[in-house]
Structure 1
Amino acid sequence: MSERIHSQPQEAAAPTTGRRRKFMPAIAGTALAMLVAAVLFQIFRAEPAASQTRADGQSAGRASLASAASGQVVAKVNGESVPYDMVARECYERHGAEVLDNIINRMIIQQECERRGVTVTQSEVQQEVVKIAKKFNLPVDTWYQMLQAERGVGKAQYHRDIIWPMLALKKLASADAKPTEDDMMKTFERDYGPRVKARMILVDGNLRQANSIWQKAVDDPDSFDRLARELSSDPNTRPLGGAIPPIRKNGGSAQVEKEAFKLREGEISPVIQVAENRYVILKCEGYTEPIVSDIKQVWNELYQQLIEEKTQESVARVFEDLKKDAQVHNFLTQTSTGGSPYAKGGNGIQQTSGVTSPQSVVPDSATRR
């Protein structure tokens, strides 16, 4: 976003590494909505989940097919048969825990939808796919092809295992997604306000080491670039002389932002502690000039963006709460988690052998294609 709304473009960031991921959110923040969407994609991998995504008759049919397939020969090697059971057993041993975990996650969401009367229709699933494809400026068919090629996710799987859970969680979390005026002002500052152009030296060590480097920078501010190349602990910004993307307000570490926005061009910040045995020293190289100065100019766009961000925050929070409250006995991994079981009757969900999904919860198009 900064490339569009600031006259001063951000400096190119170095490739991300594990160390970078730990630190840079504290400096410049992250695109929360995209991160949560990525997390959801990881949670709901497109694994077969017939038991909880088809109606009773369909589940029974699937079970009988699996039973019949168990005696089938799926390959022959120099006349020797490879039975279906051998393949199934190896798949189970290699991937069973991951697949089961995905199914459990979907069931947790499904049960809460049943309890609260939340539904997701076929039309909503299709509209969401169109919306997502449009964000990437791709026709829907091309989007499906890309998912298949890059992630091995087919259309039906995508609808059932990715889009439906995401929409269901959004509906479960929607009550928490109302932006306040204070939210609007902070988001405007974050996305449209001035940003501090800076260089950074990251120190992984003790305060004495950080103070020693800080003193060198204060004694000779023009040497900050060289000091960063020689002494910074960040492998990504070190080759760039400590160059980082401009620091914005409300985008990451409050302490880093506070110190950064105190600086005038050419000044060196105090030593800033960002974690245990981790310190940051900044040099201010000026400020960006925002193009939009009045929030009224972007109010509607900002409001919709903030609803989406707050929804994504709520989605992650609601799902974590559901997982904590769900009573799960995983006999494959021999683990048990969760709180109180659902009460029988009323709005509670009584678990039975073989799990099916009511049509009021899972859209037909997402389960039958």
Structure 2
Amino acid sequence: MPETRHARPQSRSTFYPPRNIALLVGGACVLIVCAAIRFTDGVPPADAKPPAAAATDGSKTSMPPTNPLAAQVNGQKITRVELGRECLKRHGEQVLEAVISRKLIELECRQHGISITAEEVQQEIENIAGRFGLPVDQWMMLLRNERNISAEQYSEEIVWPMLALRRLAASQLAVSEAEIQKEIESQFGPQVQVRMIVIDQRQKADQVRTAAITNPDEFARLAAKHSTDINSASAGGLVQPIRRHMGDPEIERTAFALRPGQISPIIPVGEQYVLLKCEDLLPARQPGKAQLQQLRTAIVDNIRDRKLRQAGTELFAQLKKNARVENVLNHPQKSQQQPGVAATLNGHPVTMAELQNACIARHGKQVLENMINRALLQTEMAKARLQVTQQELNQEVIRAAIDAGFTHPDGTADLEKWIQTITQENEITQDTYLTNMVWPTVALKKLVGKVTVSDEEIQKGFEANYGPRVRCRAIIVDNLRRAQEAWNLARRDPRIENFAELAAQYSVDAASRSIGGVVPPIQRHGGQPALEREAFALQPGELSGVIQVADKFVILLCEEITKPVVVELAEVRDLLYQDLLEKKHRLAMAQHFEKLLAAARITNFLDPDASRTPSADTTGQAKSRPSAARG
């Protein structure tokens, strides 16, 4: 995805959730997403209506919002009506489909006399939290901090539809004893420890198998040299023990037919060819009686959830196929005939109020943050008596397109392709792109004013981009003792193969660990002076000392020092100047906006944790309540 080359006042960090949480929340969402379901507030009363958010502290459930204000920015008011209008403008069409999808489930529940109570939702939340060994309040805090899901969203958008579809598809969710035993065998039955080689070409696979049969002890080396599966290749082909009923049936059948030391036949898997070498046969483990009982309960839940995803998706597809939907939102004539109605589903209205509440519930925080940021910039622009012209907006779009590589053969910006790409990948309209991304960039550039680039900076940029680089492998460790231990083992045997195994064993960096410690070549002036100094002092085959970089400890093994690119500074000076100018502009813009925030008084009624008061000191650091989900 091309980088969005515009400054954006808001900043968000990417979160990679713990795998178990991602699987549970993601698993529930798969069902909902597959059904194109997103949820809303304020649905007309029905037997099956979803409960209000289950309070995690035992207090009363939340009431619909009554505050007419969404935020105040230095005394300037942003009303909930304005926020709703902006949310509808940007997300109304997408959310309407989601609201209709939810209505389908509610109407089906009503038709079958199914009622899901708040108590049932709360009990299910407690059950889910219990699977992770957490109290409900900690589970909800985890969801908010790590998935940005509120208690209300979790109750209404994930748990309620899961329970509703479970009841609707109850006849398809029965779990047999045979299915339970199959799962138990997967977890506690015998396993086969193997090494694996994955190859893309049959002829090459035959050659590698011949070499492995001739000398089975060389299998690990052959895996490191030939396997296309980089995760296992870096460990000499070693993979997690193979269990029954967990993966490709042919691989399982072949693995369990092997004896220690044996090499398997070639196993075609898709367009690849797999070789296995049996290292050991691991016997079955017999769980204790209490453990087995707990295990059975968890297994039943897991099997039922898997069936629910499939059955729920199929059920919803049938409901959608039979539904009669009339879209009023996007038809002006119909909107005049049915004021206040966004759509009808099987004759039941979906009101504009419902849709607006749904848009705010789902996108309100992000849209409000953009509105707050824009209000700050507009105020500052007015103080400075500055304006953003249409020509300046056009020039910024052209610059961004060229910067991202969207150009015609003659070097001019391919605006059509750029606009199409940036709007599709960010799921926004062209108007939103111009309003939320381009306008703030131009405004901040004008507020920042002129930025200069020195000859020294250009020289450093030249050395960084065109000078020599150190191609090396790295072991990255989070404590000194283990770093010294890994360094001592690498010093005893400085071969690349040994270093790769040590990286797989010791490194805490998952990306480089899986490929034997390979890291991007180190350049000069890249922002890590201590690391760069050590790297450029090495010769090929030489091992560094233990280098402390922030809170990590790094060991380098130099493989090669690349040659500088043959180019004169004068040839690329303009290119370097423009690149450095843009980078310095972005940095200055970010710093300027932080100063605006530091001086701002913001009351955010939708997300109180994002409220802030002006800093009392001159450091430019605003006082604000800590928030894990600001934007």
Q: Normalising by structure 1, what TM-score?
A: 0.70
Query: Is residue 253 from structure 1 mapped to residue 528 from structure 2 by the alignment?
Result: yes
Partner of 2:376: 108
- Map Cα deviations across residues 264-312 of structure 1 (whole Å, 9 max, x no partner): 1211111012233x21100111211112464333222222221111111
1:207 to 480, 483, 488: 480
Q: What's 2:465 paired with?
A: 191
Which whole-Å deviations, capped at 9, do the CAs of 1:156-186 have from their partners, x for residues lacking one? 22222211111111222233x2112222222
Residues 1:120 and 2:394 are matched in the alignment = no
Match of 2:261 in 1: none
Does residue 160 of structure 1 match 2:435?
yes
Give the Cα separation in 2 of the matches to 1:327 and 1:80: 44
Report SS of the residue matched to 2:444: helix
- Which residue number corresponds to residue 326 of structure 1? 600
Could you report, residue by residue, the CA deviation over 1:72-119 in whole angstroms, capped at 9, with x for unpaired residues?
A: 122233433222112212222332222211100111111111111222
Q: Tell me by how many angstroms 1:338 deviates.
A: 3.4
The aligned amino acid for 1:262 is A
Shift of 1:37: 3.9
Say if 2:422 is the partner of 1:147.
yes
Q: Tell me the CA shift for residue 131 of structure 1.
A: 2.8
Equivalent residue runs for 1:173-188 within 5 Å: 173-175=448-450, 177-188=451-462
Q: 1:286 to 1:275 in 2, by over 3 A?
A: same
Q: Is the 8 A contact 2:475 2:554 kept in 1?
A: yes
After superposition, the Cα gap between the structure-2 partners of 1:317 and 1:192, relative to the gap in structure 1 and judged at 3 Å, is same
* Residue in structure 2 matched with residue 360 of structure 1 by the alignment: none
Q: Which residue of structure 2 aligns with residue 339 of structure 1?
A: 614
Identical positions, percent: 38
Question: Could you tell me how far 1:215 is from its partner in structure 2?
Answer: 0.9
**1:126-141 correspondence runs (5 A):** 126-135=394-403, 136-138=405-407, 139-141=414-416
Structure 2 SS opposite 1:281 = strand
Higher alpha-carbon deviation: 298-307 or 279-288: 298-307
CA deviation string 1:205-259 (max 9, x = no partner): x212111110111121112233223332222112322111110111132211111
1:36 deviation in Å?
Answer: 6.9
Query: Is the contact between residue 36 and residue 313 of structure 1 (CA under 8 Å) also seen in structure 2?
Result: no
Instruction: Report the CA distance between 1:41 and its aligned residue.
Output: 8.2
Which secondary structure state, in structure 2, belongs to the residue aligned with residue 201 of structure 1?
A: strand
Partner in structure 2 of residue 230 of structure 1: 505
Change (3 A) 1:137 1:97: closer
Higher relative contact order (CA 8 A, sep 6+): 1
SS at match of 1:164: helix
User: Counterparts of 1:8-47 in structure 2 under 5 Å?
Assistant: 37=6
Amino acid at match of 1:297: E
Find out whether 1:304 has 2:304 as its counterpart.
no
Of 347, 351, 361, the match for 1:93: 361
Does the aligned pair in 1 maintain the 2:7–2:586 contact within 8 Å? no
Contact 2:501 2:516 in 1 (8 A): yes
Match of 1:217 in 2: 490
In structure 2, relative to structure 1, the CA distance for the partners of 1:279 and 1:196 (3 Å cut) is same
Look up the match of 1:283.
557
d(CA) in 2 for partners of 1:295, 1:80: 70
Deviation string for 1:42-95 (max 9, x for gaps)? 68xxxxxxxx9xxxxxx9xx89x99x9995122233433222112212222332
Identify unmatched segments of 5+ residues in structure 1.
1-30, 44-51, 53-58, 342-369
- Paired residues in the alignment total 289
Paired with 1:339 and 1:41, the residues of 2 have a C-alpha distance of: 18
* Partners of 1:196 and 1:288 in 2: CA distance: 6
Root mean square deviation, CA, Å: 3.2
Q: For residues 246 and 38 of structure 1, do their structure 2 counterparts lie closer, same or farther at Cα, with a shift above 3 Å needed?
A: farther
Between the aligned partners of 2:442 and 2:7, the Cα distance in structure 1 is: 14
Deviation at 1:40, TM superposition (A): 5.5
Greater CA drift, 324-333 or 144-153: 144-153
Task: Say which one has the larger Rg.
Answer: 2
Letter aligned with residue 83 of structure 1: T
Equivalent-residue separation in structure 1 for 2:359 and 2:348 (angstroms): 20
Q: Is the 8 A contact 1:265 1:286 kept in 2?
A: yes
C-alpha contact (below 8 Å) 1:71/1:85 kept by paired residues: no
- CA–CA distance in structure 1, aligned partners of residues 4 and 480 of structure 2: 33
Alpha-carbon distance in 1 for matches of 2:513, 2:432: 43
User: Aligned-pair distance for 1:128?
Assistant: 2.0
SS, match of residue 236 in structure 1: helix
Unaligned 5+ runs, structure 2? 13-72, 74-81, 90-334, 408-413, 617-631
Q: Distance in 2 between matches of 1:121 and 1:241?
A: 53
User: Is the 8 Å Cα contact of residues 401 and 418 (structure 2) preserved in structure 1?
Assistant: yes
- Answer with 151-160 or 305-314: which moved more: 151-160
- CA 36–149 in structure 1, closer or farther in 2 if over 3 Å, else same: closer
Q: Distance in 1 between matches of 2:578 and 2:7?
A: 20
